[in-house]
Structure 1
């Protein structure tokens, strides 16, 4: 009875056990199916990512290959586009010094905030307690007020300012009177050369110079060498390159100005910045003075004494050669869309501002304002020689060449790019100035110390009553977010309506707001084509750098020139 009852219960439980077993099997199968489906989907997504990445790589390769092909005039010298670009990175590594690599990380922007102790900020932002202006004690005391430093007491009392040591001051001293006379003769001899050839890599800088400097017994601990240091080892020498040498701008108002006219030096970071007119140069000069601690750093910087002291083309020839050949000095340049830059120059110097407009007309013997199309036509008339500095004839305006007004002179004629492009550690685009400037300043050690604290006036009301020669720093509140150098500020609708008011301070809109006016002035495709013909070499380089990635000069030179690629293999 008991056995039979037990068997009966077991038989009744058997279907239940079978059902449970089937459920378990189905559950395991469904989990495996989900896993397989996820793996398959992941594989498909990876394949899609691979395809997309390959498409992007092909796009970049095709762009650079087109530029490389355009650079080669001899068909027999042209390489397969893909092979050329596959080797560019290897060749760049081979020929570039360690200071020239552009593989620097993008630094996320974290706004700094005003601390409770304002005297812990960089000196330029600390409260103003001194109201006077004074000439630099390191320079002639006859400077006009706009050339003086204002609101900065220590600069008025420190005989070294803006230098940090006696050694730095001696190293960077300007050329003497005798050297100026020799330079004048050289510049006059070279001034007739209107179109120096674009070689891009006439001379290369390699690690050997840095090793020579480190092993030189004459090197002192401050990092500045005396005049006897191994001059025979110089690899880059604009005085030997059959070009107008640095410093010619002293005599001929920028025309035929020499290979490195627009270079500005930030000695604390060993950074040489190429300040091309109409490519945000004003903001960089203001930042230069910010690093020196000048509390009037937002003032018009162009004739301030510190700026003149840091101009490469005014320095003595020995210092120029040493800086050019020291790999620890990093050379930096930003480029701008040539058509946009030309329009900005026209609006700023020819048509918009009353004072500038009248000066332009007087300078060129005009009795009216040229419209933009007329301006382009005059630029398209190429003269046979550089006109003299004196005179008001319209011939001074004709042509786009070496001796053209620096505001519309080709960008590639600035700072030696047409001859010594591999010397540049970083070449960026004004369209990506926020992330690229941040990355560069972080790389040279200036972002954490100065860059993230940089601030400008949100409006002109806070500077009322102040001359543009002695503009005070912004009034800051505890906890307020600082803008950061060249960083875009989130704007309310009210602030956006004031964009043109602040354009000259931010470095983005530029004072002329030319980006938004392109379609108003370039009214036909022919006008843009004319600009492309006038600025052919600028466009070759612009097409390579106008992307978020920073480039080294070595990489760019090899993309532009068969000869540069050949030199890189030697």
Structure 2
């Protein structure tokens, strides 16, 4: 990725997108009317801002904004304080992230160390579901997509056991995230634990499951892992990961129909209403920018696990700075980070990493690809950002994924910053 891949929005495309809005809204309304879900209603509490005490924020500008606020005196109506105006010399991308985080994710309630993952976010979900009129009146003006994210993340598999890999040679715990090489990492850990899954006349141990690697295997070891075993994780640029998920789950109609991960299916499935002729997106699917923009507009009505922010997996937004010994980047330096991981953990890991990713030759050849040897699920998203993103969709994506940039310390890619700079409203 580089800045030369940026493009300016096409006015004709924008007009066509606006003409499609009534149809998209109709589809969205039909989806909402047909879905049986509880109404989420949010309200503030005295510790809503305590998250800043337990999270090491990476944006100095956010810290400056919070330092200027006396949280003990904040009224619900002023929860947007410090977030609506760009700071001096603040890049637009950083402003969008800071504003979105202060208006949404900052309201996630803190949890003690004993409360983890789903139980922690579930605390926020229940806390944000008032039953009295007085509580309703004290609701902070949070974005609607944040409400649906809370609702869906506790139920869509983001906290499934399959995000926690482990092995004993070397002793290691690994957090895996959808669209961050999950298939390849599952293969690595299945190979590391292959001695646990012997075939006994077609019968395998219970912890050996059918995975994405074509065989019964154990990506979680059944052996005792030391309590002090280190934790590791690979992260990916949020904008690139979002596009990769879209390319993998939404582009091909047959994949949308079979996997049903391009949600809401009532809008994006090829058999949306049982009548292919009126699929809401049919008129724009041949225009990459319009189709992707339409998806970002409608996506939060039903958050699929492949699109949930990375920071919510494995409690990373709370624990990455304190619990993780190794944090890698599935970007241009992916091969070098694989080498760094191999050198750091030893055991059988270097061999299995090279078997799956070919990192040794990758480092020697100074390759910048972020795919494994099989290339099975590769979407080549880095080369396609200019084809699918425009300035408006960059703004939308940064808003949704602000928690990743704030709590995981990820950098906004230069192509996205330039796309915003070149946009004239």
TM-score under structure 2 length normalisation: 0.50
Task: Please tell me whether Structure 1 or Structure 2 has the larger radius of gyration of its CA atoms.
Answer: 1
TM normalised by structure 1 equals 0.38
